[in-house]
Structure 1
Amino acid sequence: MPIRVLIVVAIAQIVGWGSVSLTSIVGTRIAADLGVDIAAVFAGNSVHYGVMGLCAPFLARAFERYGARRVMIAGSLVACPGFALLAVAQGYGAYLVGWVILGAAGSATLTTAPYILLTEIVGRSAGRAIGAMMLMTGLSSSVFWPTTAFLSDFFGWRGTCGVYAVAMWLVCVPLYLYGVPRRATAPPARPSQDAIPAEPPPRTGPLALIAAGTALIAFVGFGLSAVLVELLIVEGLSRSEAIGYGSALGVIQIGARAMDFLGGGRWDGLTTGLFAALAVLAALLLLAVGDGGPVAAGAFILLYGLGSGAMAVARATIPLVFFDRATYARAASRIALPLNLASALSPPALAAVLTRFGGDAVLVLAAGFMVAATVALLVLARRRPRAQLTVRA
Structure 2
Amino acid sequence: MTQGKVLGPTALVWLLGASQILGYGTLYYSFSILAEDMAGTFGWPLSWLYGSFSLALLAGGLVAPLVGGRIDRHGGGAVMALGSVISAATLLAVASAPDPWLFSAALIAMQAASSLVLYDAAFAVLVQATGSAARLRITHLTLIAGFASTIFWPLTSWLHGFYDWRAILCGCALVNLLVCLPIHLLIARQHRRTLPGSPNEKLLPTVLHSNGMAPELRRRVLVLVTLGFALGGFTLSSVLSQMVPMLSALGLGGSALVVSTLFGPAQVLVRLANMLIGLQRHPLQATLIATGIMPIAIIILLLTAPLAAGAVLFAVMLGFSSGLKSIVQGTLPLALFGSASYGTRLGWMALARQVLAAAAPFALAWLAGMIGLTCALAVITAVAAVGFLAFVEVARKAPVSGPRAALDPSL
Q: 1:132-143 to 2 correspondence within 5 Å? A: 132-143=140-151
Indicate how the Cα distance of structure 1 residues 49 and 210 shifts in structure 2: closer, same or farther if over 3 A, else same: same
Determine if contact 1:13/1:110 at 8 Å carries over to the other structure: yes
Q: Cα 1:66–1:89, aligned 2, differ >3 Å: closer, same or farther?
A: same
Q: Secondary structure at the match of 2:115?
A: helix
Matched, 1:169 2:177: yes
Report the secondary structure of 1:90's partner residue.
coil
C-alpha distance in 2 between matches for 1:153 and 1:300: 28
Residues 87/368 of structure 1: CA separation in 2 closer, same or farther (3 Å cut) = closer
**Using the alignment, how far apart are the partners of 1:129 and 1:246 within structure 2?**
27
**Which residue pairs with 1:128 in the alignment?**
136
> Is the 8 Å Cα contact of residues 64 and 330 (structure 1) preserved in structure 2?
yes
Cα separation, 2, equivalents of 1:352 and 1:280: 21
8 Å CA contact 2:54–2:359 kept in 1: the answer is: yes
CA contact (8 A) 1:253 1:308 kept: yes
Identify the range of structure 1 (71-80 vs 276-285) with the bigger mean alpha-carbon deviation: 276-285
Residue number in structure 1 paired with 2:31: 23
CA 1:286–1:152: 2 relative to 1, 3 Å: closer
2:331 corresponds to which residue? 317
Taking the aligned partners of 2:237 and 2:68, their CA distance within structure 1 comes to 24
Could you tell me how far apart the structure 2 residues matched to 1:296 and 1:147 are?
A: 25
Offset, 1:390: 7.8
Q: What amino acid sits opposite 1:337 in the alignment?
A: L
Counterpart for residue 56 of structure 1 = 64
1:286-323 residue CA offsets vs partner (Å, 9 max, x unmatched): 45556865555554444443233322322332211222
> Which structure 1 residue ranges, 5 or more long, are not aligned?
none
Q: Does 1:115 find its partner at 2:123?
A: yes
Question: Take 2:306 and 2:175, find their aligned partners in 1: how far apart are those partners?
Answer: 44
Match of residue 272 from structure 2: 258
Aligned with residue 211 of structure 1, among 214, 226, 229: 226
Offset of residue 148 of structure 1: 4.3
Secondary structure of residue in 2 paired with 1:325: coil
1:326 shift after superposition: 1.7
Q: Which amino acid aligns with 1:113?
A: A
2:353 matches 1:344:
no
Aligned residue in 1 for 2:21: 14
CA deviation map 1:12-67 (0-9, x unaligned): 12222211243334334433443434444444432331111011122232122112
TM-superposed CA distance for 1:87, in Å, is: 2.9
Partners of 1:268 and 1:317 within 8 A in 2: no
Paired AA for residue 325 in structure 1: S
Q: Please report the RMSD computed on the Cα atoms of aligned residues, expressed in angstroms.
A: 3.2
Check conservation: 1:127, 1:269, Cα contact below 8 A: no
CA distance in 2, matches of 1:177, 1:125: 23
Q: 1:196 to 1:179 in 2, by over 3 A?
A: closer
Give the 3 Å change call, closer, same or farther, for CA 351–44 of structure 1 in structure 2.
closer
Query: Contact 2:90/2:109 (CA < 8 Å) preserved in 1?
Result: yes
- One-letter code of the match for 2:292? L
Q: Distance in 2 between matches of 1:301 and 1:88?
A: 34
Mapped pair 1:281 → 2:295: yes
2:228 matches 1:195? no
1:168, distance to aligned residue in structure 2 (A): 2.8
Deviates more, 1:292-301 or 1:126-135: 292-301
Distance in 2 of aligned mates of 1:172 and 1:390: 34
In structure 2, what is the equivalent of residue 45 of structure 1? 53
Q: In the alignment, which of 264, 269, 273 is matched to residue 283 of structure 2?
A: 269
- Structure 2 counterpart of 1:182: 191
Structure 2, unaligned stretches of length 5 or more? Answer: 1-7, 196-202
Conserved? CA contact 1:253–1:306, under 8 Å: yes
Instruction: For residues 65-108 of structure 1, give each alpha carbon's deviation from its aligned partner in whole angstroms, at most 9, with x where no partner exists.
Output: 11211111222222232122123211111111211221221111
1:12 to 1:373, Cα distance in 2 relative to 1, 3 A: same
The answer on whether the counterparts of 1:23 and 1:41 sit within 8 Å (CA) in structure 2 is no
The percent of aligned pairs where both chains have the same amino acid is: 24
Q: Decide which moves more: 324-333 or 179-188.
A: 179-188
Distance 1:155 1:223, change over 3 A: closer
Gap change, CA 1:305 and 1:387, over 3 Å in 2: closer
Q: 1:354 to 1:179 in 2, by over 3 A?
A: same
Per the alignment, residue 335 of structure 1 pairs with 349
One-letter identity of the residue aligned with 1:372: V
Residue type at the aligned position of 2:135: G
What is the CA–CA distance in structure 2 between the aligned matches of 1:171 and 1:115, rounded to whole Å?
20
After superposition, the Cα gap between the structure-2 partners of 1:187 and 1:74, relative to the gap in structure 1 and judged at 3 Å, is: closer
Give the corresponding residue for 1:379. Answer: 393
Counterpart code for 1:8:
L
SS class of match (2:191):
coil
Partner of 2:5: none
Shift of residue 281, structure 1, vs aligned partner = 3.4
| Among candidates 41, 44, 51, match of residue 36 of structure 1 | 44
Tell me if the contact between 1:269 and 1:315 (Cα under 8 Å) persists in the aligned partners: no
Structure 1's 143 and 301: CA in aligned 2 closer, same or farther, altered over 3 A? closer
Q: 1:381 to 1:179 in 2, by over 3 A?
A: same
